[in-house]
Amino acid sequence: MNLPMNSLFSQVETMGHEQIVYCHDPKSGLRAIIGIHDTTLGPALGGTRLWAYDNEEDALRDVLRLSRGMTYKAACAGLSLGGGKAVIIARPEQKTEAMFRAFGRFVNSLGGRYITAEDVNTCVTDMNNVRMETRFVTGVSPALGGSGDPSPVTALGVFAGLKAAVEYRLGKKDLRGLKVAVQGVGNVGRYLCGYLAEQGVKLYVSDISVDRLKEVERAHGATVVGQDEIYGLDVDVFAPCALGGILNSKTLPLLKAPIVAGGANNQLEDEKVHGQILKERRIVYCPDYVINAGGLINVYNELLGYDREKALSEAKSIGNSISAILHDAEKEGITTQEASGRFAERRIKSISELKQMNTLENSGIGRMHR
């Protein structure tokens, strides 16, 4: 890591993280970073992303943003979880059983402060390998007591949030005939296209994978467009379902859609600057960590004893959360990102105060001052 030590601690302190763990196993080639942001509400749960980052600074920046987003996601979803995330610095073709088992040993060393799951470029098989070394993992196969791929539940939550945004902004409860541009048709984007197609939505899709595009085109009659073309389409909803940072100073001027509602994490390159631009342009933005919480809801249910119908029902309630946040933002004259952040912070603060009071009571200090 080339960052000076004072710079590293400055980043961690600024974003409020509790712990950063660097994981290195020369034999398997593992190079990973685990970020634990906040455990006020419970253990930090968040997926492990595998990506060929250009440098270690980019990997750290990603894990810091993603883990903080998980704290807010869990808080807004009403879950008893904190926020964490992990990144493995590698290319997908470099994945091995040994790499994920080594990673599992690092997760296990944290004693449950961090619980992992799948994310970009990781899958159920990878989590099964992690499970060989630790019980602090979700999203494993049903044969091992898990729920399998959480993507359908994530996509269902995005679909519910998108419907709520359409009703709020366009005054329509029926999606039939609307046009939606889906950026990225990986696991979540592909399932989202299925939900939308069932409602008679006209789909426009882009992705780096030709095979995935052909699959969605064949299954749902979607129109394939270029990766740069997707931003400027005259559609009702723009649904980013790929990587983060795609709403920025270069892409925002291109948007014609009155609604942004998608499953990607960290969609705003700069939350304050670009959130304000969306507000000024009257583009309704559904905060990513609220609308894409279905996957987290799904794996949280694994910890409680998995009930598929319960997980699906709770994912559908994301529509209610999005509706409340959109109305709160309008009432207070703030961005939707600010409105969701305030909601999450109020919940974390209230639980933190409750824990402090309980600590005082248990220590006897509270009784001494009565």
- The tens place of each residue's pLDDT in the chain, 370 residues long, gives 455 556 667 777 777 899 999 999 999 999 999 999 999 999 999 999 999 999 999 999 999 999 999 999 999 999 999 999 999 999 999 999 999 999 999 999 999 999 999 888 999 999 999 999 999 999 899 888 888 888 999 999 999 999 999 999 999 999 999 999 999 999 899 999 999 999 999 999 999 999 999 999 999 999 999 999 999 999 999 999 998 889 999 999 999 999 999 999 889 999 999 999 999 999 999 999 999 999 999 999 999 888 999 999 999 999 999 999 999 999 999 999 999 999 999 999 999 888 776 654 565 555 444 4
At position 304, the amino acid (one-letter code) is L
Q: How far apart are CA 108 and CA 105, in angstroms?
A: 5
Predicted TM-score of the model (pTM): 0.84
How much is the pLDDT for 149?
81
Q: What secondary structure, in 3-state letters, does the chain show?
A: CCCCHHHHHHHHHHHCCCEEEEEEECCCCEEEEEEEEECCCCCEECCEEEECCCCHHHHHHHHHHHHHHHHHHHHHCCCCCEEEEEEEECCHHHCCHHHHHHHHHHHHHCCCCEEECECCCCCHHHHHHHHCCCCCECCCCHHHCCCCCCHHHHHHHHHHHHHHHHHHHHCCCCCCCCEEEEECCCHHHHHHHHHHHHCCCEEEEECCCHHHHHHHHHHHCCEECCCCHHHHCCCCEEEECCCCCCECCCCHHHCCCCEECCCCCCCECCHHHHHHHHHHCCCEECCHHHHCCHHHHHHHHHHHCCCHHHHHHHHHCHHHHHHHHHHHHHHHCCCHHHHHHHHHHHHHHHHHHHHHHHHHHHHCHHHHCC
- Where in the sequence numbering do the catalytic residues fall? 85
Closest-CA residue to 111 (of 11, 12, 50, 34): 34
What pLDDT does residue 144 have? 87
Burial 59-69 (b: 16+ CB within 10 A, else e): bbbbbbbbbbb
pLDDT of residue 3: 56
